Structure 1
Amino acid sequence: MAFSIVSWLDKLKNNKIFEMTVVAVIIISALEIGAKTFPLSDGAVDFTKILDKFITLFFLFEISVRFITDNNKKAFFKKGWNIFDTLVVAISLIPVDDSEMALLARLVRVFRVLRMVSVVPELRVLINSLLKAMPQLFYVVLLMFIIFYIYAAVGSYVFSTINPVLWGDIAISMLTLFRVMTFEDWTDVMYETMEIYPYSWIFYFTFIFFTAFAFLNMVIGIVVSVMEQEQAALARENAEENHEPTIASLQAEIQELKALIMAQQAASKPQE
C-alpha cells in the first residue's frame, strides 16, 4: 500500500501538468503579494487571506511530495534549494499575521516568488552558475575597484574645482565614474570638464575602455564558461536519473569492447 502511494506520488511529481501547476501557483502567489500593496476592499482582503492559505498548503504538499519520492532522503536537505523551499514553507505556516511578527511573515511570503528558481531547472542553472563564478569574479571586481579608485582620486584632484557636486571627494567621484561607466549622460560630465581641460576626454575614454569594455566582458566570459559547465552537469544528472547513456559511459563501453576485441584477436592468432 505504501509503495503504491509512493509510486503514485513519483508519477505525480514527474507529471508535466503538475509541474505547470506548481509554476502557476508561484505566479499566482507573486500576483497576490503585489495585490496586497494596493488599497483593497474588505472582500478582496478576505479573498487574499484565503488564497494565501491555499498557496501555503499547496507548497507544503509539493515539498512533501518531493521529499517522499526522493531516492536519497538523507541527502535531500544537503541541497541548498531544498533547504530554502522548506524554510519558506515552514515559516509561512507560522500564524503571525496578527502579531508583532506580521512584517516578517509578509517578507517571507515575498521570497516565495524565488521558488520559481528551484522549480525551473534552467533558472536554477543560471543562479548556480552565478554563485560558482563568484570566486573567479572576485579578482576581476577587485581589479575594477582599483581602477575606479585611481580614476576617482585623479578626478577629485583635478575636477573638484569645476563641479564639487560631481568631483568633491573620492566617494562622490566614484559615484560619478559609475555614472560614466553606465553611459548615463556621461557626455555632459565630459564636456563640462573639457571646457577647462580640453584633453580631459582621454580620462573618460580610457576609463570606459577599462571598465565598460574590458572588465565587464571578462565578467560575462567567466559567467558563460561556468554556465556551460553547469548545463553539462545538469544534462549528466538528467541522463543518470532517466538511465540514459552519457558520453562518459559510452566511451567506457567502447574502451571495454576494444579491449575485448584485441584480446580475442590475440587469442585467435596461431601460436608459432
Structure 2
Amino acid sequence: MQSFASRIVSHRAFEYFIIAIILVSAVLIGMETSEALLAEYGNLLLWGNRIVLTIFIIEAVLKMWALAPTVGRYFKDGWNVFDFTIILLALVPSTGEFAMIARLARLLRVLRLISAIPELRLIVATLMKSIPSMGNIMLLMGVIFYIYAVAGQQLFHAHDPQHWGNLGISLLTLFRIVTLEDWTDVMYTAMEMHPLSWIYFVSFVIMGTFVIINLFIAVVLNNLEEAKEERLKELRQPPTRDCLLRELDQTQKALEQLRKQLGETKPERLHQE
C-alpha cells in the first residue's frame, strides 16, 4: 500500500489534478466576493470549499503515507510544511471572531499553485536566494536616493515646495521619478527656475532606473542559474535504499508475470507441434 501511495503522489496526472483543484478553489474564492452569487449559491460554495479542503487533506495524508514510517521526512521539505500550514489555517472555524482569519486562510489556498508547479517553486527559490544580494543593491540605491533627495530639496524647494518641500517629500518625488510616472512634469517645473536642472533629473533616471534595475536583473538571473544547478544535482543524487527496494520489488513482480506468460505459451506451442 505504501508503494501504491507513492506511485499516486508522484504521478503526473495527480499533480495536474491538484493544480485543477487549486484553480477551482480560486474560482470559488472569487465567487464569494459577489453578494448576489453568495446569496444565491451560498450552500454550493460552502460545500465546494469543504470538498476542496478534503482533497487537500487526502493529498497530505497520501504524501505522509508514501514516506511512512519516517513521516518526519514529509516535514523536512519546506513546501510540504507550507501546504500543511495552509490546511491547518483552513480548518479555522469561519464563524465568530475567527471569520476573517478563515477567509484569509481560504485565500492562501491560491498560493498552493506555487508549491504545486515545479517551475514556480524554482522561481520562488531563486527570489529567496537573491534577497541577500538585493539587500546590498537596496543599500546602494538608498545612498543614491538620499544624496539626490538632499540635493533636490536644496535646489528646488523654494520654486516647487509641493515636490521638494522637505526631505520626506523629496524622497517620495524621487520614487515617482524612478518609476518614470510623469517625471518630466517635475523636471519642467524645476527648469523654469534652473534651465540646467535637466542634468539632475536625467542623471538620476539613468542611475536609479537603468543601472539599478539592470543590477537587480543580473542578480536574479545569476541566482536562477545557481538554483537550476542545485535542482539538477538533486535529480542526480543516488537513489535511496527505499527507492531501490521498491524498484527491486517491481522488477520481481514483472519477472514473475513474465514467467507466468511464458508458462502459458509453452503448452500452446507443444499442442500446435
**Shorter-chain TM-score: which interval?**
0.7 to 0.9
The corresponding residue for 2:31 is 35
Unaligned runs of 5+ in 2: 241-273
1:25 aligns with 2:21: yes
Q: 1:1-272 alignment to 2 at 5 Å?
A: 5-39=1-35, 40-70=37-67, 73-94=71-92, 96-240=93-237
Instruction: Give, in whole Å, the separation in 1 of the partners of 2:239 and 2:205.
Output: 49
Instruction: Give, in whole Å, the separation in 1 of the partners of 2:147 and 2:45.
Output: 53
Amino acid at match of 2:33: T
- Counterpart of 2:236 in 1: which secondary structure? helix
Change (3 A) 1:25 1:15: same
Does the CA contact (< 8 Å) of 2:32 and 2:38 recur in 1? no
Does the CA contact (< 8 Å) of 2:86 and 2:105 recur in 1? yes
TM-score by length of 1: 0.83
Amino acid at match of 2:183: W
Instruction: Give, in whole Å, the separation in 2 of the partners of 1:190 and 1:67.
Output: 61
The corresponding residue for 1:261 is none
What is the number of residues matched between the two proteins? Answer: 238
The corresponding residue for 2:258 is none
Instruction: Give, in whole Å, the separation in 2 of the partners of 1:241 and 1:21.
Output: 29
The corresponding residue for 2:249 is none
Amino acid at match of 1:30: A
Deviation at 1:238, TM superposition (A): 2.6
Deviation at 1:89, TM superposition (A): 0.4
Deviation at 1:242, TM superposition (A): 7.3
Deviation at 1:163, TM superposition (A): 2.2
Cα offsets for 1:75-120 (capped at 9, x unmatched) = 32233222111111012123x1122100001111111111111111
- Counterpart of 1:101 in 2: which secondary structure? helix
Deviation at 1:167, TM superposition (A): 1.4
The corresponding residue for 1:253 is none
Amino acid at match of 2:232: A
Amino acid at match of 1:14: S
Instruction: Give, in whole Å, the separation in 2 of the partners of 1:70 and 1:227.
Output: 30
Does the CA contact (< 8 Å) of 2:53 and 2:87 recur in 1? yes
Query: How many percent identity over aligned positions?
Result: 34
Amino acid at match of 2:213: L
Change (3 A) 1:41 1:128: closer
Deviation at 1:241, TM superposition (A): 7.3
Instruction: Give, in whole Å, the separation in 2 of the partners of 1:78 and 1:41.
Output: 39
Deviation at 1:41, TM superposition (A): 4.6
- After TM superposition, which residue ranges in structure 1, 4 or more long, deviate above 4 angstroms? none
**RMSD between aligned residues:** 1.7
